Structure 1
Amino acid sequence: MKLHDEFPTDHKLAQVYRWGAALCGLVLLLFGCLGFADQLSPFNTHGSHIAGMSTNGVLSLLSVIFGLVLIAGAIVGGNVASTVNMSVGALFLLSGFAHVFILDKPANFLGFGMTNVVFSFLMGLVILTFGMYGRVTSRLPHDNPYWRRRHPRQAAREAAARRAALRAPASLPGTGSNTGRAR
């Protein structure tokens, strides 16, 4: 089974994943392109400042790459966009944690400053939230594909009950089983 087979193509959650990925991807793409426009040196550990954050050529390149990955996920949509959002969001959070410990050290080859760390945490949480929306909660509606995936037996019983209800003839009030027969 492919990832997107369980997800109806017109499901409302697909739009959340798509728009979230596209929005965050555009922000990262813009930041990376502004870094390239300033012709930054690739490994400058002090970095130039763009949009209040320090950056260098490598960080600009990574921003463009992750921006394009998020935009590609938005184009594909569905579960792919959700999974891409969750993966990229987790990477941003890990990057924030890692860079807290290497600020002002030679290992800080991306030229991160404290504003970059805060941005990494915030962007990671936003992207992760877009990816997890409708997938992770204790009260998913029963028509949600992720609820059906987690509760296959109950979902099968409910689907069988719906099919049985559709097959049962609808009786109108005032008519009996002998409709059409004259007495």
Structure 2
Amino acid sequence: MDFRDELPVDHRLANVYRIGAGLCGVALLVFGCLGLADGLAFFSTSGEQVAGLTSNGLLSLVSIATAAVLIVGAVIGGNTASTINIVVGTLFVLSGFVNLALLDSGANLLAFRIPNVVFSFAMGLVIATFGMYGRVSSKLPLDNPYWRHRHPETARTPAARPLGGPAPRPGITGQAR
């Protein structure tokens, strides 16, 4: 399934994916840079406070790398940005669960605390929502490329389902008398 043919470059959904990836990427980049600027210990499991969250050098590097992926997705745009947003958002939520299990243990290499876990869940949901916007729903508009891809038989016959109009009902021609 190749959506490059389905989604025009200037489609309004591409802007949502691009803006979401860019904003979240910049926020993570700032957090990571602040952590590195503070000269945090790289593998400290206790961490230091940075922007209200605990961090160490490793978490700062992971944040910068993740920010770079999101910003590259924002530059590329389109379905690539959408897919990157969905994958990174899912990884953030999974990271929240893993780090929740590792709290107060020696394996807590990213120096997570409860606020970090909550941030990981929230940021993951925000990023994934930006990626899924207009792509995952039961009520997609008729001009949506994802709807057209899922309903090719209906999308090919414009008379059967005109863009922006309601679906025709059997026995009604739709013409005024």
Tell me, yes or no, whether TM beats 0.5: yes
Q: Distance in 2 between matches of 1:111 and 1:140?
A: 41
Alignment match, 1:111: 111
Alignment match, 1:179: none
Alignment match, 1:178: none
Cα deviation 1:46-96 (Å, max 9, x = unaligned): 001101100111100000000010010000000001000000000000001
Alignment match, 2:156: 156
Q: Distance in 2 between matches of 1:156 and 1:91?
A: 37
What SS does structure 2 have at the residue aligned with 1:99?
A: helix
Identity of aligned residues (%): 60
Q: 1:58 to 1:77 in 2, by over 3 A?
A: same
* Matched-pair contact (CA < 8 Å) for 1:3–1:80: no
Q: Which runs of 4+ in 1 moved over 6 A?
A: 159-162
- Aligned-residue CA RMSD (Å): 1.5
Deviation at 1:3, TM superposition (A): 3.9
Q: Distance in 1 between matches of 2:130 and 2:5?
A: 20
Deviation at 1:153, TM superposition (A): 1.1
**Higher helix proportion:** 1
Q: Distance in 2 between matches of 1:161 and 1:101?
A: 51
Deviation at 1:161, TM superposition (A): 7.9
Q: Distance in 2 between matches of 1:114 and 1:161?
A: 50
Alignment match, 1:11: 11
Q: 1:159 to 1:66 in 2, by over 3 A?
A: farther
Alignment match, 2:100: 100
Alignment match, 1:31: 31
Unpaired segments of 5 or more residues in structure 2? 163-177
Deviation at 1:42, TM superposition (A): 1.1
Instruction: State how many pairs are aligned.
Output: 162
Q: Distance in 2 between matches of 1:159 and 1:26?
A: 45
What SS does structure 1 have at the residue aligned with 2:157?
A: helix
* Matched-pair contact (CA < 8 Å) for 1:82–1:132: yes
What SS does structure 2 have at the residue aligned with 1:88?
A: helix
Question: TM-score w.r.t. structure 1 length?
Answer: 0.85
Question: TM-score w.r.t. structure 2 length?
Answer: 0.88
Q: Max radius of gyration: which structure?
A: 1
* Matched-pair contact (CA < 8 Å) for 1:4–1:80: no
Q: 1:151 to 1:47 in 2, by over 3 A?
A: same
Q: Distance in 1 between matches of 2:88 and 2:65?
A: 11
